[in-house]
């Protein structure tokens, strides 16, 4: 295995060389070295050095120190970030020397601080897996291996550095990372590592929810979403992360509706991987949530469904259980809901009179909504049996307007999306009265000019007929008709408060119970 030098980011090389100019040891490290050796394209480049975070900050003015538990520096080159960390030792080894600490007495190995500096070998041995403990020297072109990671790369195995029992108890998030590397790099998991993963998977609950959620998003974002989900189901980790989706994927084979939702989810995940390969920008958290939550809502969100009722309420209740368990940020939850509601107007419809939002492109969720519609279309083109099945009222067929005059098309838009998309409509338009005033002033001016011209040049024609009754009054005479401008701030505040209605709040908050639409048959 060799590293192609032309695949290395020049800014990462610049960081390494600049650190060495100041007499600091510095190497490329971790995932970028692993991916280069496997012939994959690294998503980013990390550097490890003997310089402390404050020393890095003094050398690079385009840097910023981040982190509390794990302090490191981000060095910025335009939109690119080179993550640069200091050689560290395993803090648990120091805690072992303190036999009187509460953690030593309880046997709790969870790492709570990680700012103990060490040597390059210490740093390699404190990392999670052997395939991530490799250093690359950009000046000599040599791979430095303190942990036998090259052998595991050649064997295509994920193996912990040291005792897997201890490593997973130190940081249970490593269990999810093992799944991520196995799925993304198409590797197997070493048997003892796998056994300890299964034994300690329940300890993931000890980790901060934000770290768990972010690692879950990374599983789906890296171009191996389907394989990652298969491994999560196999290891029963999905049951810990989101039991609603896990039960949906393990439904009874005889349940045709559950089987269709299950097949749709696998299809969406495969299409998500194809979309990730095509697009330079990785999918957002909100898009990932929407793709996971769509299968039980595909028929309700079909553009030709006219028997759903309040689609906003249906979506809110359907996604609430999984969101309560995953606990994404409020913004991600709300944007995911908007993406799902937008699908109703982005997917193709058999009804040519179907209303589509005219200013959807101006919203921050518009690109994600179109990308999800693309994922759905890709899935259904591969397997037409997964296409949406419109929910229809009695006596109607797919593509028919809900009413004889087409008015149903207007009413079918979700109120939440209607208010979101049309809230600014008419702001640039002119009212009819203001336009009338402008026309009146213009015609009055033209008339005066015309009369003067005719009087000076066309005396033989005689006086023009009096059409003062036909013309609108000039601007000056119209001014008294304008209502006086109110300067009462209390009245203005009352008017503003009247525009803020409870219906504009996110409808998903506090709704639904675990189980949701994945279990309609129960």
Q: Which residues are catalytic?
A: 44, 46, 128
Give the CA distances from residue 363 to residues 329, 337, 369, 415, 475, in Å, rounded to whole numbers and listed in that order: 19, 14, 10, 16, 40
Considering only the C-alpha atoms of the chain, give the largest distance between any 2 of them, rounded to a whole number of Å: 119
* Segments in 157-255 forming alpha helices (H): 164-170, 173-184, 191-200, 209-221, 225-234, 238-241, 243-249
d(CA 265, CA 473): 67
In DSSP terms, which residues pair with 26 in a beta bridge? 49
Contact 217/285 with Cβ under 8 angstroms?
yes
Grouping H, G, I as helix, E, B as strand and the rest as coil, residue 115 is coil
Q: What is the DSSP string of 239-304?
A: HHH-HHHHHHHT--TT-HHHHHHHHHHHHHHHHHHHHHHH-SSPPPHHHHHHHHH-GGGTTTTSTT
Give the CA distances from residue 19 to residues 63, 79, 116, 138, 236, in Å, rounded to whole numbers and listed in that order: 13, 21, 20, 12, 44
| Among 427, 388, 417, 211, CA closest to 304 | 388
Side by side, which strands form the sheet with 72-77?
Answer: 63-66, 72-77, 80-86, 46-49, 26-29, 134-137, 142-145
Give the CA distances from residue 506 to residues 36, 176, 499, 511, in Å, rounded to whole numbers and listed in that order: 45, 31, 16, 11
Burial of residue 319, with CB atoms counted within 10 A of its CB: 0-12 exposed, 13-18 middle, 19 or more buried: buried
148-154: list long-range contacts, CB under 8 Å, 24+ apart. Answer: 149/34, 150/1, 150/37, 152/190, 153/1, 153/34, 153/37, 153/38, 154/1
Contact 189/182 with Cβ under 8 angstroms?
yes
d(CA 2, CA 136): 11
Output the CA torsion sign for 183, 35, 274, 346: positive
d(CA 150, CA 365): 43
């Amino acid at each position: 295995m060799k590293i192609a030098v032309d695949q290395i980011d020049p800014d990462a090389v610049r960081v390494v060389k600049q650190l060495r100019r100041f007499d600091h040891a510095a190497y490329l490290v971790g995932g970028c070295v692993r991916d280069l050796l496997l012939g994959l394209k690294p998503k980013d480049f990390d550097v490890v050095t003997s310089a402390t975070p404050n020393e890095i900050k003094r050398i690079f003015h385009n840097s910023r120190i981040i982190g509390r538990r794990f302090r490191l520096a981000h060095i910025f080159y335009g939109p690119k970030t080179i993550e640069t960390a200091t050689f560290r030792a395993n803090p648990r080894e120091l805690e072992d020397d303190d036999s009187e600490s509460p953690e030593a007495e309880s046997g709790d190995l969870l790492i709570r601080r990680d700012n103990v500096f060490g040597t390059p070998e210490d740093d390699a041995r404190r990392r999670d897996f052997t395939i991530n403990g490799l250093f690359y020297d950009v000046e000599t072109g040599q791979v430095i291996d303190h942990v036998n990671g090259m052998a595991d790369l050649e064997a295509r195995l994920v193996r912990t550095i040291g005792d897997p029992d201890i490593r997973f108890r130190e940081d249970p998030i490593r269990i999810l990372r093992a799944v991520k590397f196995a799925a993304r790099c198409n590797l197997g998991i070493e048997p003892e590592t796998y056994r300890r993963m299964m034994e300690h998977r329940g300890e993931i609950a000890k980790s901060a929810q934000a770290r768990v959620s972010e690692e879950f998003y990374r599983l789906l974002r890296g171009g191996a979403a389907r394989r990652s989900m298969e491994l999560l189901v196999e290891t029963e980790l999905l049951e810990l992360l989101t039991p609603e989706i896990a039960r949906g994927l393990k439904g009874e084979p005889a349940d045709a509706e559950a089987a269709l939702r299950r097949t749709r989810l696998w299809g969406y995940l495969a299409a998500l991987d194809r979309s990730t390969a095509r697009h330079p920008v990785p999918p957002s958290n909100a898009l990932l949530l929407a793709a996971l939550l769509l299968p039980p809502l595909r028929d309700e969100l079909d553009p030709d469904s006219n028997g759903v009722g309040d689609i906003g309420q249906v979506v809110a209740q359907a996604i609430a259980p999984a969101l309560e368990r995953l606990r994404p940020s409020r913004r991600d939850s709300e944007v995911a809901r908007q993406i799902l509601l937008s699908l109703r107007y982005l997917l193709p419809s058999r009804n040519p009179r179907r209303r589509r939002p005219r200013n959807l492109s101006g919203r921050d969720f518009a690109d994600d909504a179109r990308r999800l519609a693309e994922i759905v279309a890709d899935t259904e083109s591969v397997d037409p049996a997964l296409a949406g099945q419109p929910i229809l009222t009695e006596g109607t067929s797919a593509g028919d307007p809900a009413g004889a005059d087409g008015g149903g098309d207007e009413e079918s838009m979700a109120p939440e999306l209607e208010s979101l998309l049309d809230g600014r409509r008419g702001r640039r338009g002119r009212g009819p009265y203001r336009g009338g005033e402008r026309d009146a002033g213009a015609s009055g001016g033209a008339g005066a000019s015309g009369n003067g011209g005719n009087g000076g040049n066309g005396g033989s024609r005689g006086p023009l007929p009096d059409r003062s009754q036909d013309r609108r009054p000039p601007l000056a005479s119209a001014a008294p008709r304008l209502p006086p401008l109110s300067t009462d701030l209390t009245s203005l505040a009352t008017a503003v408060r009247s525009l803020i209605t409870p219906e504009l709040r996110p409808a998903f908050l506090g709704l639904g119970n675990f189980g949701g639409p994945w279990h309609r048959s129960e």
